[in-house]
Chain A
Amino acid sequence: MQFWGYKRSEGRAGIRNHVLILPTCVCGSETARIVASQVKGAVNIVFNTGCSDVQANTDMSQKVLTGFACNPNVFGVVIIGLGCETVGHKPLREKMRKMTSKPVVSFGIQEEGGTLKTIEKAVRAAREMAADAALQQKELFDISNLLLGIECGGSDATSGLASNPAVGELSDLLVDIGASTIMSESIEWIGGEHVLAKRAATPEIHNQIIQVCKNYEEHLKAAGQDCRAGQPTPGNKAGGLSTLDEKSLGCIRKGGTRPIVEVLEQAERPTKTGAIVMDTAGFDISSVTSMVAGGCNAVIFTTGRGTPTGNAIAPVLKVTANSRTYKMMEDNMDVDLSAIITGEKTYKQMGRELLDVIHDVCNGKLTKAEAYGFSDIAVNHVCRFV
């Protein structure tokens, strides 16, 4: 299987050709939004951190920002800084230039003399970049260039029964033809981690999977918190998921059955090909943020209760097996998988159908959240703000 994508000088092919307007910190977010609104082909990120932070959080923010810049769906980057944030636009720009050869330019609001002057310069730079991006022709790439993120959010009992197994089947089909997938949300492995760990390609990976769950619980315990207090969410419980274990046993099915070849930290780029897992929060927006920073081209997102979420860099395709949710939220749902629940189709059949849908998304078909221009992100925090 092949798809039409954009060649990047390093790493995998892009399935989009975005000019990314990226703030260094929360204070640059509004200016970035206005710049992106002026230029066709530009997208912006609303960043909620980057200032008054401990080192571990700064490291995480930098990992996400540089990861976004390196994502193969991005043609070039216009950075909007303020001037007094933890890592300013110039050091961030230089860091990105060491990681990627794509165009990266940057401006600082304090240096330029306010937002209007910054917007003027940044719009000019973004316009030129978008003009160049528009000239880039698509080329045919083997599907092995694809890195698909797998996410679930607003789960109910249909997620574990139908949509997650169907997406698991999709993952198996993709891995079998040479592509890679990432399943994240390690807190939602807890209670099913022993089942997930059976898929480990090596005994070391088996233990890494168990250790990730142990560490997650201990991290929360150290702060006097219990993961079982927040999970399942009230919506999950109303949807028939009674314990974290029940949620997890359904969640892990979306990763399929192929051997797990690598366990990544959040926002980390894979070094292996095949079925990969990433240690992220169960909070869906934060998890998608981490996977896109890790280089995912697209994200398939299963839901039971329904969600509008989208990401500026990677298309998010939302699927549900809850027929009521599909009917109620058809403007936000991309694929109806309820035929699995009614018994009209098997999850394997629908997994195969999803392969065609993902293939279309790779070739440029807009997901609903993408057409609306949605740009949700959340950067996970290691420690509290200071």
Chain B
Amino acid sequence: MKINALMIDEIDNVVTCVEEVSKGSDVFYRKGDEILSLKAEENIPYCHKIALKDFAKGDEVIKYGEMLGKTLEPISKGHWVYDKNIYSVPRDYDSEMIDLTGGKR
């Protein structure tokens, strides 16, 4: 079976489809040495993300092993994750600063 989606970090909960995927077809991606698959529940455009799990409203979406944003509404496994159903969370810069006198602030 041919890979048609990419997982970047093993903790990611979305993968990026590198081909157009039509509703009902299978998405294959590599996770470590394994090849995993899931069924697309809607059409996923080229370069767009598909949900690997059921998301509740406000859940974190993870790609690159990092949070991309949170969900604006529940998104079920196999559905399209895109700019209309997730949002960017404002940063807390002060908490990221290193206390230069030692230790994290």
Interface residues, chain A, with chain B CB atoms under 8 Å away: 156-158, 160-161, 190-195, 197, 203-204, 206-207, 210-211, 213-214, 217, 228, 232, 237, 239-246, 249-250, 304, 322, 324, 341-343
Q: Please give the number of chain B residues whose Cβ is less than 8 angstroms from any Cβ of chain A in the complex.
A: 30
Cα of A213 to Cα of B87 in the assembled complex, Å = 19
A346 CB to nearest chain B CB (Å): 13
**A190: B residues at CB distance < 8 A:** 91
**Residue A213 contacts which of B47, B66, B88, B93 (CB distance < 8 angstroms)?**
B93
Given the contacts A161-B8, A193-B91, A213-B91, A240 and B16 also touching, CB distance less than 8 Å: yes
**A242: B residues at CB distance < 8 A:** 49, 68-69, 81-83, 86
**A214: B residues at CB distance < 8 A:** 91, 93-94
Cα of A232 to Cα of B91 in the assembled complex, Å = 16
**B81: A residues at CB distance < 8 A:** 242
Q: Is the CB of B47 within 8 A of A237?
A: no
Q: Is the CB of A246 within 8 A of B47?
A: no
**Residue B66 contacts which of A195, A197, A204, A217 (CB distance < 8 angstroms)?**
A195
**Residue B45 contacts which of A240, A250, A341 (CB distance < 8 angstroms)?**
A240
Q: Is the CB of A160 within 8 A of B64?
A: yes
Q: Is the CB of A343 within 8 A of B3?
A: yes
Q: Is the CB of B97 within 8 A of A210?
A: yes
Binary CB contact string for chain B from 8 to 20 against chain A (1 if under 8 A, 0 otherwise): 1000000010100
Q: Is B33 located at the chain interface by the 8 A CB criterion?
A: no
Given the contacts A243-B83, A245-B69, A191 and B47 also touching, CB distance less than 8 Å: no
Cα of A217 to Cα of B92 in the assembled complex, Å = 11
| Further pairs besides A240-B47, A242-B83, A342-B18: 14, Cβ < 8 Å | A156-B47, A160-B64, A161-B6, A161-B8, A210-B97, A228-B88, A240-B46, A240-B49, A243-B86, A245-B67, A245-B89, A249-B68, A304-B47, A343-B3
Given the contacts A161-B16, A245-B88, A239 and B68 also touching, CB distance less than 8 Å: no
Cα of A203 to Cα of B96 in the assembled complex, Å = 11
| Residue among A207, A246, A249 having the largest count of chain B Cβ atoms under 10 Å | A246
Given the contacts A161-B16, A217-B91, A244-B88, A249 and B66 also touching, CB distance less than 8 Å: yes
Q: Is the CB of A192 within 8 A of B66?
A: yes
A165 CB to nearest chain B CB (Å): 9
A226 CB to nearest chain B CB (Å): 9
Q: Looking across the interface, which residue of chain B has its beta carbon closest to that of A190?
A: B91
Q: List the 3 closest A-B pairs by CB distance, nearest first.
A: A240-B47, A157-B47, A214-B93
Q: Is B1 located at the chain interface by the 8 A CB criterion?
A: no
Q: Is the CB of B96 within 8 A of A210?
A: yes
Given the contacts A158-B47, A243-B68, A246-B63, A193 and B16 also touching, CB distance less than 8 Å: no
Q: Is the CB of B100 within 8 A of A207?
A: yes
Cα of A179 to Cα of B63 in the assembled complex, Å = 31
Q: Is the CB of B16 within 8 A of A157?
A: yes
Cα of A34 to Cα of B42 in the assembled complex, Å = 56
**A156: B residues at CB distance < 8 A:** 47
**A241: B residues at CB distance < 8 A:** 83
B88 CB to nearest chain A CB (Å): 4
B14 CB to nearest chain A CB (Å): 9
**Residue A240 contacts which of B48, B88, B93, B94 (CB distance < 8 angstroms)?**
B48
Cα of A322 to Cα of B47 in the assembled complex, Å = 9
A-B contact list, 9 entries, CB within 8 Å: A191-B91, A194-B96, A210-B97, A211-B97, A214-B91, A246-B68, A249-B64, A249-B66, A250-B64
**B6: A residues at CB distance < 8 A:** 161, 341
**B68: A residues at CB distance < 8 A:** 191, 242-243, 245-246, 249
Cα of A156 to Cα of B68 in the assembled complex, Å = 15
Q: Is the CB of A193 within 8 A of B96?
A: yes
Q: Looking across the interface, which residue of chain A has its beta carbon closest to that of B8?
A: A161
